[in-house]
Structure 1
């Protein structure tokens, strides 16, 4: 491994004249499977720098080996530190739980490895700040980093951002973002690491509100200046291995965000919305038009042009799978839709392309930190209850 700042006269890995990028991925569960699918398929559809799926890292040797065989990884390891010492590893993809993000990412960046990390950036604001600082320092030495907000890679949402940036909605005044799931509705659902603040950081707030908040900032191209929030835990105890265990994170969260543009965004997330499996809905309202998106119709974008006569107005359905639409030229003929898993393929494409070009990928760790600051502010507001006005009801007088 060439130390940061030293001279190396060979072409860097990932460049046309350089050797393939060696990739190590940490974690083999839900996100590990999604990322592996992307690594396995990206070169079949996009022109990207050459790479090799070198190592899958997991604490359980047997499960890691089984997953590596299924997902296309050449070998396995049980200690993530061991891969940072290898000269043939150039990229570290972190799909481990949030409580591990900061330690792994900072160490990998200092070892000169490009780093992709799943959202949210970290479990705490302090960890996120340390990661962003490490990313800035590493970038000075050509080492890149990116956070995996995969919904930025939904073609319909990428198109929505373009329409907003082009002024098709005029001045955006109001945004609504709702991310609803129901996997915790059953009060007897067992305790998991996602329900413990020490391992998860937060509940629905960090897990899915991070996506919704990032989308608000991504679509509007702005930052959040004011936050008001509320958190709630509907089921405070879950069955554990040795009996009931306390749930120490939120089941649902609500927030009102003020953007630097003056737009107001409302965000609602829940793991207790019966019947909603993975529902992300976004609405953007401007003075010249509006946009609607529903993740359950991932290839569609609703667009209303308010500049045409009122008698002609109405939301029209844009089927986002033309070659002219973001990312779509790499896939199938028009009318042949793509799915949720393709967002990760697009994510890996963008990350590899940035590494090969020596440019900073987006979203950066600084973007992840910006989301983390909003999450922390929502939690602070909720804990202070500063936004809650207590109402009292006087008895109704008979005959009044």
Structure 2
């Protein structure tokens, strides 16, 4: 695994736990953790369960005993590492968004195609697909339980930047992160909406805002770009992105609305998707991740209303590996499900999903939103 921050902890949990609860066709060994600071990397490896450490990702890729490379670094290094790993014949799991630009994402998708021909597979980490309630929502929509889709509402609401004195970090620098709320959390809303509906966005119209344009420098932030002499630095990404989108064609598609913000006061991690159809609706909220709300329009009018499905039965997606019904899962379980799906695909020489091509398509949606915002919210083709 290359990278040892927040996502490093989450991915480590997945690698460590998945083979102990799922009957995998191959058992992953947590061989090597790679990050820049030797002392911090050694401490993280000991805490998370990695056998060795390194500060050189190229050395990791060159090792013959390494089969899988898991990339959890900031977006500015995704393309270089993933392409090198795939060309070396390694399987690659890469965090979202796939890259910082469409050009980088295209190069990664092309490397994935080359790798697949040699038996090296790749996947982008849109982990929320693996929350059992979200997977159940996809299954119910695909089975026609809500009829013909008419409208989608999607939002990802956080508030961790609402304090204007919060220090500048790499997530607020376009050269490191690619974009702000749009790419960091909006990418999840885009992917999950497309995953649940089974239809891709074809055009968008959006606007973006940077609410706090300067932030104080933290002690460890002196290497950030855009810094000012007085001890503050420029925020070069968006804090808020709002856009509408058309799924599919104009004649046979439907509209959706999207919001991605890190300034939604009081909202901690509210990823919400609601899909309305001709025969019903489904609604998912990540802050209630063991539940799925379902409205059945075919029920007698005297009995209609949203019903909350508690997604903890062994018949629900992924649940049979875990606890008895009613015993809740948490955020970290999605990473175990991600490892389960990725390892099973690699072991069976089957291309895993979402693929790098899927990651590229989401990157194209994000780029279209930025282009639309730059052109005063005109409709822009994905």
Q: TM-score, normalised by structure 1?
A: 0.90
- The alignment status of 1:151 with 2:128, answered yes or no, reads yes
Partner of 2:312: 321
Contact 2:128–2:334, Cα closer than 8 Å, also in 1: yes
Of 217, 236, 249, the match for 1:248: 236
| Structure 1 residue 263: Cα displacement | 1.4
| Structure 1 gap ranges (5+) | 1-24, 389-400
Partner of 2:225: none
- The alignment status of 1:35 with 2:23, answered yes or no, reads no
| Count of residue pairs brought into register by the alignment | 364
| Structure 2 gap ranges (5+) | 223-228
| Structure 1 residue 387: Cα displacement | 3.3
Contact 2:279–2:297, Cα closer than 8 Å, also in 1: yes
CA distance in 1, matches of 2:117, 2:378: 42
CA distance in 2, matches of 1:254, 1:222: 20
| Structure 1 residue 281: Cα displacement | 1.2
Of 91, 102, 110, the match for 1:133: 110
Of 301, 317, 329, the match for 1:310: 301
Give the secondary-structure state (helix, strand or coil) at the position aligned to 2:163.
coil
| Structure 1 residue 225: Cα displacement | 1.0
Give the secondary-structure state (helix, strand or coil) at the position aligned to 2:335.
helix
- The alignment status of 1:67 with 2:55, answered yes or no, reads no
| Structure 1 residue 386: Cα displacement | 3.9
Matches within 5 A, 1:300-379: 300-379=291-370
Partner of 2:2: 26
CA distance in 2, matches of 1:200, 1:52: 30
CA distance in 2, matches of 1:218, 1:212: 10
Contact 2:19–2:28, Cα closer than 8 Å, also in 1: no
CA distance in 2, matches of 1:238, 1:118: 26
- The alignment status of 1:196 with 2:170, answered yes or no, reads no
Structure 1, residues 104-142: CA drift from partner, whole Å, max 9, x if none?
Answer: 000000000000000000000100000001001110111
Give the secondary-structure state (helix, strand or coil) at the position aligned to 1:52.
coil
Of 4, 10, 31, the match for 1:54: 31
CA distance in 2, matches of 1:208, 1:302: 22
| Cα distance change on mapping 1:304 and 1:248 into 2, 3 Å | same
CA distance in 1, matches of 2:317, 2:263: 33
Partner of 1:100: 77
Partner of 1:12: none
Give the secondary-structure state (helix, strand or coil) at the position aligned to 2:160.
coil
Runs (4+) of structure 1 moved beyond 6 Å?
Answer: none
- The alignment status of 1:275 with 2:251, answered yes or no, reads no
- The alignment status of 1:297 with 2:288, answered yes or no, reads yes
CA distance in 1, matches of 2:377, 2:264: 26
Of 239, 251, 262, the match for 2:253: 262
Give the secondary-structure state (helix, strand or coil) at the position aligned to 1:301.
strand
Matches within 5 A, 1:206-221: 206-221=183-198
Greater C-alpha Rg: 1
Q: Name the structure, 1 or 2, with higher relative contact order (CA <8 Å, separation 6+).
A: 2
CA distance in 1, matches of 2:16, 2:27: 12
CA distance in 1, matches of 2:32, 2:83: 19
